[in-house]
Amino acid sequence: MLFIENAYSQAANQAAAPNMMFQFALFAGLFGLMYFMIIRPQRKRQKEHVELIGSLSKGDEVILTSGLLGKISKLDDAYLILDVAQNTQLKFQKSAVHAVLPKGTIKLI
């Protein structure tokens, strides 16, 4: 028994209830902090992205999450077709859209 330490029990007269209440309050506080710092902002961004996807229309100039710029030429339920150059069309999922750009942005670049 070289490396094993002796185990001692706690005194029986110590109250366990205040310790449990403190742990519960700490747990509730940490959950509240995580909710307001992580969960709530993520849900807000997700809601804004769903609204953005729903508002897409033909002719919108968009930027994708990959950084690709293009003009929407056709929309389906889950896909869109982008004109990225002359006679070049690419098909992407709608969820890949990062932002809608102001009209004429692609010509300025």
Close Cβ partners of 91 (under 8 Å, ≥ 6 residues apart): 79, 80, 81, 82
Which conformational region is residue 51 in: left (phi greater than 0), alpha (psi within -120 to 50 degrees), or beta? alpha
The CATH classification number of 57-108 equals 2.30.30.100
In this prediction, residue 108 has a pLDDT band, given cuts at 50, 70 and 90, of confident
Instruction: Give residue-wise pLDDT tens across range 55-96.
Output: 999 999 999 999 999 999 999 999 999 999 999 999 999 999
Rounded distance between C-alpha atoms, residue 73 and residue 18, angstroms = 65
Q: How far is the C-alpha of 12 from the C-alpha of 4, rounded, in Å?
A: 24
**Alpha-carbon distance 58 to 74, whole Å?**
6
Give the model's pLDDT for residue 21: 86
Annotated domain spans of the chain? 16-55, 57-108
Local structure of residue 26 (DSSP, 8 states):
H
pTM here is 0.70
Confidence label for 8 from pLDDT (cuts 50, 70 and 90): low
